[in-house]
Structure 1
């Protein structure tokens, strides 16, 4: 093992204690990163300092949060999101259909806007892209996390989350639609001057098994003045439909089809 001058080690430790990253110190002093990391570990051990993983969690640090991005990410999480808990970190995963690359990009951008420090990644399998971010603080941002499926346990927003949704309702609705909704064309027939003609019209659907999540969606639609109806299929009221022309026009202006 290469021996380094003690003065270089002391300089490295001084830089590390001031907040300089291992990489920056290694490049500045031309010392391998592994050596820098070992010096830092031994220094903490000698001083009895317990290492705490740095975080930019807005809940824990009070850092200003990008509310619009959070509202959108909250909608995605409630629809197709999941947090996997591990001993040292939590994995936030948003599952997206591979045919919508724009939604995939927007999901990852929202993760980075809400917590820039954790790394993100993607994994594709069976035409599904899992957008992931790794941080033990994702459960702080989404306290709805818990054991079991979302529709099998109560889902309620905390006061600070509801305030964000109230202030940024459209990103929240957009996140829900991008996860568990769609915009499609329906059709029906009408008698016009004695002749039956086909009539097509756009409609937004949102489908979720959780009564609580559907209620969060419809309560937000009510606040926005959007007219909606239950659309029961096979006796199950899991579908929420928006089909009135004025309401669809508002949804088109602020949500739009997946892309």
Structure 2
């Protein structure tokens, strides 16, 4: 009795973190109808098997993609319980970086190919969202409260993936909570003042555990870094050495 446009609008509201009750009141659609649409997102006969729920748990079939999405999740992602064991992974991506939004959506789709990936427009950003029963299996860092208020540590199988694909993990973290900027200065050369520009990378996060995961991975790939002194609680990691910036440019590059 509801057309596809109406269904998509209701599911998009739910993807924003709204309760079924509030969406029902706004749209006039019964909670039972909305709930049935959600449970059909990942029907049991179509859902891609979860590598972590098998008798002998394994690792994702696309480990490089997983490492990238793990970085995005640790930076700007969250997992929420919707109802009856259905979770949704939501990663906020700024409108300024459409290429990042595409990369995030593609990574989600690769990991859960049978599930629909939504892009929900918010002020200044898009929430890239996908429903699945298995997001907590793939991202066991999920838990109550904010990430910086609880311990964030990788499981051994996750660490193996990050060790094998460190640059994908670093790129995901930079794409979420980092940036590449160009600083400049002037010098007197032969009596003439000349302007010099030099790029550098920054990564800022309030969780000391996540910052440590980032810097430990930088150490493994030979990137030099230092932390900046700040009055706020968040920690900012700076990468400014020429050789290290060149490595980052080769494997990460600016957002786009």
Deviation at 1:134, TM superposition (A): 0.1
Match of 1:137 among 109, 134, 143: 134
Match of 1:166 among 163, 181, 197: 163
* Distance in 1 between residues matched to 2:70 and 2:159, nearest whole Å: 11
2:59·2:157 contact (CA, 8 Å) conserved in 1? no
Deviation at 1:190, TM superposition (A): 3.7
Provide the TM-score with structure 2 as the length reference.
Answer: 0.77
1:107·1:131 contact (CA, 8 Å) conserved in 2? yes
Report matched runs for 1:108-257 at 5 Å: 108-193=105-190, 197-234=194-231, 236=233, 238-257=235-254
* Distance in 2 between residues matched to 1:238 and 1:141, nearest whole Å: 27
1:56·1:116 contact (CA, 8 Å) conserved in 2? no
User: Considering only aligned residues, what root-mean-square deviation do their CA atoms show, in Å?
Assistant: 1.9
**Other structure's SS at 2:184 match:** strand
Deviation at 1:58, TM superposition (A): 2.0
Report matched runs for 1:7-22 at 5 Å: none
* Distance in 1 between residues matched to 2:137 and 2:61, nearest whole Å: 13
**Other structure's SS at 2:180 match:** strand
Query: What CA deviation, in whole Å up to 9, does each residue of 1:88-137 have, x standing for no partner?
Result: 20000010001111111110111111121222111001021000000111
Q: Structure 2 vs 1, CA of residues 190 and 101 (structure 1 numbering), >3 Å: closer, same or farther?
A: same
Structure 1 stretches lacking a partner, 5+ long: 1-50
Q: Which has the greater radius of gyration?
A: 1
* Residue 69 (structure 1) aligns with: 65
* Distance in 2 between residues matched to 1:200 and 1:140, nearest whole Å: 45
Greater CA drift, 247-256 or 197-206 = 197-206
Deviation at 1:191, TM superposition (A): 4.6
Greater CA drift, 124-133 or 54-63 = 54-63
1:56·1:117 contact (CA, 8 Å) conserved in 2? no
